[in-house]
Every structure is written in structure tokens, then in C-alpha cells.
Amino acid sequence: MEEIQFNHTLPIQLRFNDVDKFGHVNNTVYFSFYDLGKTEYFASVCPDVDWEKDGIVVVHIEANFLAQIYGSDHIAVQTAVTEIGTKSFHLAQRVIDTETQEIKCICTSVMVTFDLEKHESKPLEEEWIQAICKYEGRDLRKKK
């Protein structure tokens, strides 16, 4: 994941209930961090999306936990789109310690665009594709 350039970083404020009885952030909480990162990424990159009509759903998610996070740590979640298909796209995310830059966890997921009125997947809007490619600084369309 080192070759991925992360242009989107969101600082995360740890909450008291994020920490378990062992003194570290529970592994289930990381997925909340990744959700926050996704939400902020798309709010900034594709601000004109009508979220009442269009949705993005997770169809696959995978995480590798590399180091513990403690309640006193300062962390951020970084998000990047790495590949765009017709109806889906791939996300890479990681949680880092903002003071040491240590990578605490990495996550990859496959997201699908979803028509909330028809309850079915739908092709990505061309304006989304263009906005994401512009933000990421390269063409991310899947090569056929």
C-alpha cells in the first residue's frame, strides 16, 4: 500500500467508548473510522451527489491490523480510490498515527453505486468518475 498516494486525510477524535478493557481501541471501531473517511472523501470530491437518490454500498471489506491504537494516540484515516469499474470502485484506506506516521491498520474495500429508489446497482455517473480521477491525479478506469 506504500505506492498509493493518499490525498485525503481526516483526523479522528478518539472517544472514551472506543477503548476496550485492554486499553486499546477495539478492532470493530476501526470500521467506523473507515466509514467516516469514506463519507468525508465523497462529500469533498463529489459534493453534488444527491444522497436521497444515489447510494454507495460496501460489497467487500478487508482489514489488516498492524499495530494497536491507544486512547491517548492521535490518529487520522486516509482514503484513496484505486480503481474504477462500470458499477464499482476500489478503495484503499489506512489509519495512521499523525505524530509518528506509523500505519496502524490498512483496509481495502469494493464499493458499488446503488439506486436507492429502484433498490439495485447502477453505473457510476460520468461526473463522479471525472471528479475522482481529477482528485486522485490519474485515470483510474479499469483497463479492459
What's the rounded Cα separation, in Å, for the pair 50 and 47? 9
Per-residue pLDDT reduced to its tens digit, 29-38: 999 999 999 9
The whole-model pTM stands at 0.92
Per-residue pLDDT reduced to its tens digit, 113-124: 998 889 999 999
Kindly report the CA angle at 64 between 99 and 88, in degrees rounded to 5? 105
In the chain, what are the domains?
6-134 (3.10.129.10)
Written as nine digits, the cell of 55 is 447510494
Cβ partners under 8 Å of residue 140, min gap 6: 81, 82, 83, 84, 89, 129, 132, 133
Per-residue pLDDT reduced to its tens digit, 61-110: 999 999 999 999 999 999 999 999 999 999 999 999 999 999 999 999 99
Q: Is the pLDDT of residue 133 over 90?
A: yes
Nearest residue to 39 (alpha-carbon basis) of 67, 12, 66: 12
What mean pLDDT is predicted for residues 55-66?
95
